[in-house]
Amino acid sequence: MAARKGRGRTCETGEPMEAESSDAGTEGRAQVYLPGRGPPLREGEELVMDEEAYVLYHRAQTGAPCLSFDIVRDHLGDNRTELPLTLYLCAGTQAESAQSNRLMMLRMHNLHGTKPPPSEGSEEEEEEEDEEDEEERKPQLELAMVPHYGGINRVRVSWLGEEPVAGVWSEKGQVEVFALRRLLQAVDDPQALATFLRDEQARVKPIFAFAGHMGEGFALDWSPRVSGRLLTGDCQKNIHLWTPTDGGSWHVDQRPFVGHTRSVEDLQWSPTEDTVFASCSADASVRIWDIRAAPSKACMLTTATAHDSDVNVISWSRREPFLLSGGDDGALKIWDLRQFKSGSPVATFKQHMAPVTSVEWHPQDSGVFAASGADNQITQWDLAVERDPEAGDAETADPGLADLPQQLLFVHQGETDLKELHWHPQCPGLLVSTALSGFTVFRTISV
């Protein structure tokens, strides 16, 4: 692996996977495996995880795979780095039959860090300690779920005052809002969980539902600035605005925002302006809107060909005037909203070899973001990184490293059919992803 430096920290590029060979000529020699760069794995080689590249790494499965999830902000405090960690996720399944789906609340706790490698001469002592320690370090998972008819395309969580709610896009063509308080209480207390499963689980219904989209969709975002304000977009190119009303309900404007010509793939409210949002579409465009205008005239700025084809996902930085987009072309693009009219991104990165499925800016570190792709890579990036001149020797030894974008910090592999990722807003550097292979919670040495 080649060392890169940015803001005083050393970052490992390449991924935590090494190719180990059983060939006689290379037996015992581990090499960094770079997906899409350098030779493919040969017969007898396999990818082995480099645990030293992780501060923390855990996996969990919940039965049917989850296409989407969100991290639930909790009351355990911000900037949590002390291990073990606890976190809460709300997720929706994509089961084989419509009636087998569930909306789930997960509490993952007792999440310890990866173990340091044994020092010389201390292996026997450490083995004894390990046996005693192993039971105490086991990760724990509590799960409360409610029936949901139809697969869940997307889940987004918000707090309305003291009430946690989930917006849920169903493959059956409607958007529902579920109250989450009882599910949170259930995963926190074994007695409450038993009561919930016995008396309440089967009776939970959404507190509000909207069926006016005329088809299914994926795009959904709660306003970070106006409590309860929601946007939903569908595969029929329409976007609807939800406004909270007195009494805990919503008024959904039946007039859609008009502009896109194909499916609306993702929506993001501005983190700094109450009335402004961004959208991206399978029509290859990214658009900026202002809800103060009539829906037919609300599109203020358009980049018509933001990507070569579908624009799948966007993320609006909370710290800089930057929008990040990922497309079917595998490209990641950074848009400076002060120059958005130019139609040109300020940066383009091409590491993913298949459609990008999720992107998100780091909630605290303004230049850092993560992305996942259908190539089963999760990449971490830092716009502030500059190439370290001392790394030249390593890159000469492995020419594949010289081709890597200098802002690429880390490539994580080992998942199957990656769908979505999120940074934990209260645990710096902690990433959670969902894939066909399940959930992964990890923090790398790079972020």
Q: Is the pLDDT of residue 329 over 80?
A: yes
CB 383: neighbour CB atoms within 10 A?
17
Residue 134: predicted pLDDT: 82
CA distance 337 to 322: 6
Residue 129: predicted pLDDT: 64
> Percentage of the chain surpassing pLDDT 90?
79
Residue 425 main-chain phi, psi, to 5 deg: -70, -15
Nearest to 443 by CA among 360, 391, 366, 378: 378
Q: Is the dihedral of CA 299, 301, 303, 304 positive or negative?
A: positive
CA distance 213 to 173: 7
Distances (CA, A) of 138 to 108, 114, 129, 239, 431: 11, 12, 14, 45, 19
Q: Is the pLDDT of residue 16 over 60?
A: no
The pTM score is 0.90
Burial (CB < 10 A; 0-12, 13-18, 19+), residue 347, is middle
The two beta strands, 230-234 and 239-245, are antiparallel
CA distance 298 to 66: 34
Q: Is the pLDDT of residue 45 over 60?
A: yes
Bridge partners, residue 146, by sequence: 103
Contact between 269 and 231 under an 8 Å Cβ cutoff? The reply is yes
Q: Is the pLDDT of residue 268 over 80?
A: yes
Confidence of residue 19 (pLDDT cuts 50, 70, 90): very low
* 186: Cα separation from own chain's centroid: 25
Kindly state the average pLDDT of the residues 371-389: 90
Exposure string of 218-252, with b = 16+ CB inside 10 Å and e = fewer, is bbbbbbbeeebbbbbbbbbbbbbbbebeeeeebeb
Contact between 267 and 220 under an 8 Å Cβ cutoff? The reply is yes
Two tokens at 175? 């958007």
CA distance 447 to 445: 6
Residue 47: predicted pLDDT: 75
Residue 119: predicted pLDDT: 63
Contact between 221 and 230 under an 8 Å Cβ cutoff? The reply is yes
Kindly state the average pLDDT of the residues 332-336: 98
pLDDT single digits (tens) 387-435? 666 655 555 556 667 778 999 999 999 999 999 999 999 999 999 999 9
Residue 4: predicted pLDDT: 30
Residue 389: predicted pLDDT: 62
Kindly state the average pLDDT of the residues 220-232: 98
DSSP code of residue 319? S
pLDDT single digits (tens) 164-179? 999 999 999 999 999 9
Q: Is the pLDDT of residue 368 over 90?
A: yes
Q: Lowest-pLDDT range, 56-60, 101-105, 323-327, 383-387? A: 383-387
Q: Is pLDDT larger for residue 120 or for residue 285? A: 285
Residues whose CB falls within 8 Å of the CB of residue 103, separated by 6 or more in sequence, listed in order = 90, 91, 92, 93, 145, 146, 148, 152, 155, 166, 168, 178
Kindly state the average pLDDT of the residues 65-87: 97
Query: What is the number of residues in the chain?
Result: 447
Distances (CA, A) of 352 to 104, 285, 379, 382: 30, 20, 8, 16
User: What mean pLDDT value characterizes the chain?
Assistant: 89
Residue 49: predicted pLDDT: 81
Residues whose CB falls within 8 Å of the CB of residue 110, separated by 6 or more in sequence, listed in order = 84, 86, 137, 138, 139, 140
CB 135: neighbour CB atoms within 10 A?
7
CA distance 10 to 26: 29
Q: For the chain, what are the domain ranges?
A: 61-115+136-211
pLDDT single digits (tens) 178-225? 999 999 999 999 999 999 999 999 999 999 999 999 899 999 999 999
Residue 426: predicted pLDDT: 98
Any idea which residue has 């419509």 for tokens? 98
Residue 15: predicted pLDDT: 41
CA distance 441 to 430: 7
Residue 122: predicted pLDDT: 58
Residue 398: predicted pLDDT: 62
CA distance 271 to 413: 31
Q: Is the pLDDT of residue 18 over 70?
A: no
Q: Is the pLDDT of residue 118 over 80?
A: no
